[in-house]
Amino acid sequence: MPSHPNKLSVQLPDEFLKLHGEVHALKAVLAIVIAHVSLLSRAPLNKRDEILGSINSMMPGALAKIEQDGSPSEAAGFERAIEVVTSLASSAVRIEPVTSAEQG
């Protein structure tokens, strides 16, 4: 095992690194989908907060199931992925309310 985490990527097979990149892409796409679903509603900020709140409320149960069925590393990866997706989704689209001066 390498002494420095950045050296680990040099030792990993190329196919594993490709899969790792795909996982990151899927996280970003999921965050963008959440943002777009929010934009389809009449109150995008409220809808985005509702979606993210729902994801966060389901997280403890899902994490407990993964901890029961998988390894600690899998549970940590799952938790980190959810945190990344919710963080990306909360900043994927910034929606500013239109003021009366801007409407005219």
Residue that the structure tokens 């390894």 belong to? 71
Output the pTM of the full model.
0.65
pLDDT beyond 50 at 98: yes
Q: Each residue of 18-76: pLDDT tens digit?
A: 888 888 888 888 888 888 888 888 888 889 889 989 988 988 998 888 889 888 888 88
| Residues 41 and 31 sit within 8 Å (Cβ to Cβ) | no
| Residues 73 and 43 sit within 8 Å (Cβ to Cβ) | no
Q: Where on the phi/psi map is residue 93: left (φ > 0), alpha (ψ -120 to 50), or beta?
A: beta
**Angle (deg, nearest 10), helices 72-92 and 44-69:** 170
Which of 97, 95, 96 minimizes the C-alpha distance to 38?
95
